[in-house]
Amino acid sequence: MSAGIPLNQNVINMEYAVRGPLYHKAAELRSKGRNIIPCNIGNPQALGQTPISFYRQALSLLEYPPHIKRERTLKGQAPALKGMDNQEWISDYVLDFSEDFLTKMETGMGAYTDSKGPRFIREAVSRFIDKRDGVTPDRGVPSIPDHIFLTDGASEGIKNIMELLISDGNDGIMIPIPTYPLYSATIARLGGAQVNYYPDEDSGWTLNREILEESFSRAKKDNVRVKAIVVINPANPTGAILDRKSIKEIIEFSGEKGLVIFADEVYQDNLYGSEFMSFAKALGDNRDIPLFSFHSASKGFYGECGHRGGYFEVRNPPGSPGGDNGFIDILFKQASVNLCSNTIGQALIYLLSSPPPEGSEPYDQFNREKQGILADLYEKAVMIKDSFKEMKAVECFGRVGAMYLFPRINHLPGGKTDFDYCMSLLEETGLTTVNGSGFGQRAGTHHLRIAFLPPKDTLEDVLPRWIEFHNNYIRD
């Protein structure tokens, strides 16, 4: 047997509930032939969501450019090919779009790119941000392409910025509780201090100054130097969407305490009728507060998790030796160590930033698919939320956003935890959820997170079984 090697204790201490014991139990049951409904993770295409045709047509051509010419030639012979079944031509718009992308990409899809990502993609992202935030030549603050970095999913950017901020156990990051466990796990891995703040569940997960101050002063008492605050909007795991007042409170608070803001906005398209206010827009011309905003190709209606596309934008880069550019240079160095993010993810970020304009050939289909996915997600959320009304001692707060519901279970049988509940639910019904304690929660409360992603007929089958399970379980 080989000698033991001392391992990094930070990594050993790190926890990641989304792929924890429930995930492994579900895999074990599936291998035994059980029907498992994986609502434990926001992975839409794993639950049958169809990719957006515009994205996939372009990606296929980018990866194999000879098909652009082939498609044009075949289309020229269309009358002769009329007899072919289900022949669907790729529109000239997509062919031109793909050709144009490859011209700008210069070195193609198989070469390393600039470590920040190609400039033309960052320019497209910058236009996307300005359009989203209603920036015009005489209104708003335009984003700067050189302050945008393309990343392998939003996760990579989040980890890199955290790494820059945490140098020892006294460096603290405020995170919402419940939280997306990437944050708690990354802070643990880097050996930093996790500083919890608790949005008010009963008022729909809103925030006020008292909540933020309480968290900050607790950290100060423990000699923690708080450097940043993380905000997830719309939120994972609660699905809540922050109101303007809460956003304003966070900005004012961060300004006073000298904090960096992490705005995790990967669910900015998962709103279902509510309004989204980006932190970049809310910050306006405030030049004092450093802001990192994160977005991703994994969520929204795009749902391309496996392709790992993401970006972050920096506003008001914090001072560093060498001034503003010094900070961007450090970020660039950090990105360079990874060479570059993957090019398919980069292309998806370009596609996400450059949807087909109204009147273009793919527009109608694109819009139909986009609206169809979002409407379907909302209907499924409502189906699940309605079923909570039939479960005793269950309440679910906040507007519907992101891809999750986070109901509170107000009563559990003696000695049982929400983890026990989720495990029994999985064993009895095949429905895989994640226990609230995996995201952190106020002491004495119990929750679970369910992703509202499975097809409706699957929900129609499993929800009555869940209701029955629940009402029996809490009676025990």
Ligand X SMILES: Cc1ncc(COP(=O)(O)O)c(C=O)c1O
Cis peptide before 178 (omega within 30 of 0): yes
- The residue count for binding ligand X (CB under 6 A) is 14
3-state class (DSSP) for residue 174: strand
Does 264 engage in binding with ligand X (CB under 6 A)?
A: yes
Buried b (16+ CB within 10 A) or exposed e, 418-447: bbebbbbbbeebbbbbbbbbbbbbeeeebb
Does 305 engage in binding with ligand X (CB under 6 A)?
A: yes
CB of 308 to ligand X, least distance (A): 7
Give the interface segment with ligand X, choosing from 132-140, 152-160, 273-281, 359-367 (CB under 6 A): 152-160
Does 154 engage in binding with ligand X (CB under 6 A)?
A: yes
CB of 352 to ligand X, least distance (A): 11
In the block, tokens 């998790």 appear at: 305
Does 232 engage in binding with ligand X (CB under 6 A)?
A: yes
| Pair 280, 293: CB distance under 8 Å | yes
CB of 183 to ligand X, least distance (A): 8
Residue number, 148 or 232, with CB nearest to ligand X: 232
Does 268 engage in binding with ligand X (CB under 6 A)?
A: no
Structure tokens that stand for 236 in this block:
């994972």
CB of 278 to ligand X, least distance (A): 15
Structure tokens that stand for 424 in this block:
């029994």
| Pair 400, 239: CB distance under 8 Å | yes
CB of 434 to ligand X, least distance (A): 12
Strands (E) in 41-85, as ranges, are none
| Pair 12, 35: CB distance under 8 Å | no
In the block, tokens 């968290």 appear at: 215
Q: How far apart are CA 307 and CA 325, in angstroms?
A: 31
Give residues 76-105 in contact with ligand X (rule: CB under 6 A).
Answer: none
> x/- site string to ligand X, residues 179 to 198, per CB under 6 A?
-x-x----------------
Give residues 33-72 in contact with ligand X (rule: CB under 6 A).
Answer: 42
Q: How far apart are CA 467 and CA 368, in angstroms?
A: 34
Give residues 271-300 in contact with ligand X (rule: CB under 6 A).
Answer: 296, 298
Measured at CB, which residue is nearest to ligand X? 153
What pairs with residue 231 in β-bridges? 263
Residue number, 117 or 356, with CB nearest to ligand X: 117
CB of 342 to ligand X, least distance (A): 12
What pairs with residue 171 in β-bridges? 225
Give the interface segment with ligand X, choosing from 48-56, 148-156, 350-358, 375-383 (CB under 6 A): 148-156
Quick one: DSSP state of residue 457?
H
3-state class (DSSP) for residue 188: helix
Give the interface segment with ligand X, choosing from 149-157, 203-211, 239-247, 466-474 (CB under 6 A): 149-157
Does 347 engage in binding with ligand X (CB under 6 A)?
A: no
Does 155 engage in binding with ligand X (CB under 6 A)?
A: yes
Where on the chain is the footprint of ligand X (CB under 6 A)? 42, 153-155, 180, 182, 232, 236, 264, 266, 296, 298, 305, 310
